Amino acid sequence: MLIRVKNAGLDIPSSEITPEETYLNRRRFIAAAGAIAGGHLMAPALGGKAGRAYAQGGQDFSDATDELGGEVNTYEDITTYNNFYEFGTDKRDPSRNSGDFKPEPWTVEVNGHCAKPGTYALEDLLAPHTEEDRIYRLRCVEAWSMVIPWRGIPLADVISRLEPTGSANYVQFKTVVRPEEMPGQRRRLIPILPWPYLEGLRMDEAMNPLTLLVTGLYGRSLLNQNGAPLRLMAPWKYGFKNVKSIVEISFVEEMPRNTWNVQTPHEYGFYANVNPEVDHPRWSQARERRIGKLLRQPTLMFNGYGDQVAHMYAGMDLTRWY
Ligand SMILES: Nc1nc2c(c(=O)[nH]1)N[C@H]1C(S)=C(S)[C@@H](COP(=O)(O)O)O[C@H]1N2
Ligand SMILES: [Mo]
């Protein structure tokens, strides 16, 4: 059987895409591929490993791994298994419900303790900096993980140009509020979360060379479900720190509020460093399931990035600052 991807000039034999996609049934794949074909140009060639579908990504990362040898997840994994509550709480909701979202044009407001506040067109915020492809693990607090070839700009490059002052101890990020384009924000009586979604980093975390402002993945622009057109990636932290569709960056003196900490403070802290020794109150954080793999694997301290980040937390009690 052939699955015909509309407008894409690309026929994928279903035998090549289904076997390992244990959580993805064929119908979901077709829905996702259709959504992608509608909004973006598709890569013309099928490349990479038999049995896994990488074709929709712009660049072939099928043989790429992270620095620990972890295989990159498929483009389908990465674009159909998402957390983005503005589009609904089910993992499939963001790919299904984000079709009306318009990531262009986009502006970002910069405010607080810095010499260059203002409202920046996204191109102007990013233009002088060079995009890089980096393969980082995303590890969700729900104990699943993926390896993703991100494309982005070091957050440090952008921050340096905005010239924060000595009072800027933290950076806060805000997601856009657009109930007319984001069905998850339309629930009035009992909102899914208090909007806007807020996150923050301490200034040294924001300036760490690992931290990216992400504009794409698999060599192409972000799809809406992954946080188009601009989202954060701090790979040693749980996934919820990586705020999507950012419209505001504030340089602040005090530790900012972050949505999940406000929502459930005993479960989610500000730091949210991946830590197999500190359990979530309702489940263990010691092991994780890499999406696309059957067996669970041990979770690494700082998601395996300890050499680059552990020094920032020397002397801190990580059971208190979770
Ligand atoms: N604005 C916003 N950002 C968000 C979320 C969200 O619900 N809203 N979910 C977070 C969580 S819990 C995770 S695990 C990651 C998932 O990113 P991905 O879907 O690109 O893999 O996004 C984070 N960023
Ligand atoms: Mo998450």
Nearest CA to ligand 1 atom 15: 239
Question: What pLDDT is attached to residue 54?
Answer: 65
Torsion, Cα of 154, 199, 149, 44 (10° steps): -110
Say if residue 4's pLDDT is above 70. Answer: no
Nearest CA to ligand 1 atom 5: 84
Token pair, residue 227, equals 């946080």
pTM, two decimal places: 0.85
Q: Quick one: pLDDT band at residue 53, thresholds 50, 70, 90? A: low
Residue 140 Cβ inside 6 Å of ligand 1? The answer reads yes
Binning the chain into helix, strand and coil, the percentages to the nearest 5 are: 25, 25, 50
Among the ranges given (26-30, 83-87, 127-131), the one the predictor scored with the smallest mean pLDDT: 26-30
Say if residue 49's pLDDT is above 70. Answer: no
- Of 172, 170, 236, the C-alpha closest to 203 is 170
Q: Please give the average per-residue pLDDT across 83-101, as a whole number.
A: 98
- Of 118, 115, 243, 110, the C-alpha closest to 167 is 115
CA of 114 to the centre of ligand 2 (A): 30
Sheet holding 118-121, edge to edge: 118-121, 107-112, 246-252, 170-175, 198-202
Return the ∠ at Cα 164 (arms to 160 and 170), rounded to 5°: 105
Q: Quick one: pLDDT band at residue 216, thresholds 50, 70, 90? A: very high
Nearest CA to ligand 1 atom 12: 240
298 three-state secondary structure: strand
Question: What pLDDT is attached to residue 55?
Answer: 60
Residue 120 Cβ inside 6 Å of ligand 1? The answer reads no
Asked if 209 and 311 touch (Cβ cutoff 8 Å), the reply is: no
pLDDT digits (tens, 9 = 90+) for 233-248: 999 999 999 999 999 9
The neighbour count for residue 203, using CB atoms within 10 Å, is 15
Distance between CA 15 and CA 217 in Å, rounded?
25
Torsion, Cα of 224, 225, 229, 230 (10° steps): 170
